[in-house]
Amino acid sequence: MICPFCRYEDSRVIDSRPSDEGSSIRRRRECTQCGSRFSTSETAVLSIIKRSGATEPFSREKVINGVRKACQNRPVDDDDLALLAMRVEEALRSTGQAEIEAQEVGMAILPPLRELDEVAYLRYASVYRNFSSLEDFEGEIALLRALPIEKSEIESESQVASPQLK
């Protein structure tokens, strides 16, 4: 690991802690050469395959930007959006795939967005699922009425899995 101070190529780990409930490891390193210290973070890779076929790292920011438009004039603040993006990331990581289709990201946004704000959810779904008529809206609304909000799979799953965690 290159030292960001002197660019020497080698450094040793001084301290190491799991962080983010174990989904990443934070290390404190010391440059073998100049002795300066810096922090690093190790995270599971999560790449998104765009429709063009190109692949890029998952970005919470992009999720937020996509959803923000749907939240205009709605009681949704940046913290809500940040939390939503976190949940989406969680959901995607828990599928286990290292590479995920961009469309899957769109899908993963739906459940937590519904929990956050049903109006924003409708707007978002109308774009994402290509609503073409008033009936499409009505259909979705009927669905919303019929299906009670369920805790998104991520959470229910993690409740099953979590007993194994300390």
Partner DNA sequence: AAAGCAACCCCAATATCTAGGGGTAAGAGT
Partner DNA sequence: ACTCTTACCCCTAGATATTGGGGTTGCTTT
Q: Which residues bind its own copies (CB under 8 A)?
A: 1-9, 18, 21-27, 33, 36, 38-45, 59, 61-62, 93-96, 98, 157-158, 161-162, 164-166
Residue found under tokens 């049903």 = 118
Shorter beta-carbon distance to its own copies: residue 126 or 158: 158
Q: Give me the least distance between CB of 14 and DNA, in Å please.
A: 6
For 141, residues 6+ apart whose C-beta sits below 8 A from its C-beta are 122
Q: Give me the least distance between CB of 141 and DNA, in Å please.
A: 34
Query: Looking at this protein, which amino acid is placed at residue 16?
Result: S
For 41, residues 6+ apart whose C-beta sits below 8 A from its C-beta are 19, 24, 25, 26, 27
Answer yes or no: are the C-beta atoms of 7 and 33 closer than 8 Å. Answer: no
Partner that binds at residue 19, options its own copies, DNA, none, CB closer than 5 to 8 Å by kind: DNA
Partner that binds at residue 16, options DNA, its own copies, none, CB closer than 5 to 8 Å by kind: DNA
Shorter beta-carbon distance to its own copies: residue 2 or 142: 2
Four-point Cα dihedral 157, 160, 163, 166, nearest 10:
0
Q: Give me the least distance between CB of 93 and its own copies, in Å please.
A: 5
Shorter beta-carbon distance to DNA: residue 24 or 156: 24
Query: Looking at this protein, which amino acid is placed at residue 140?
Result: E
* DSSP symbols for 89-116: HHHHHTT--SEEEHHHHHHHHHHHHHHH
Partner that binds at residue 13, options DNA, its own copies, none, CB closer than 5 to 8 Å by kind: DNA
In 58-150, which ranges are E strands?
Answer: 99-101
Q: Give me the least distance between CB of 98 and DNA, in Å please.
A: 6
Partner that binds at residue 131, options DNA, its own copies, none, CB closer than 5 to 8 Å by kind: none
Partner that binds at residue 22, options its own copies, DNA, none, CB closer than 5 to 8 Å by kind: its own copies
How far apart CA 58 and CA 1 sit, in angstroms, is: 23
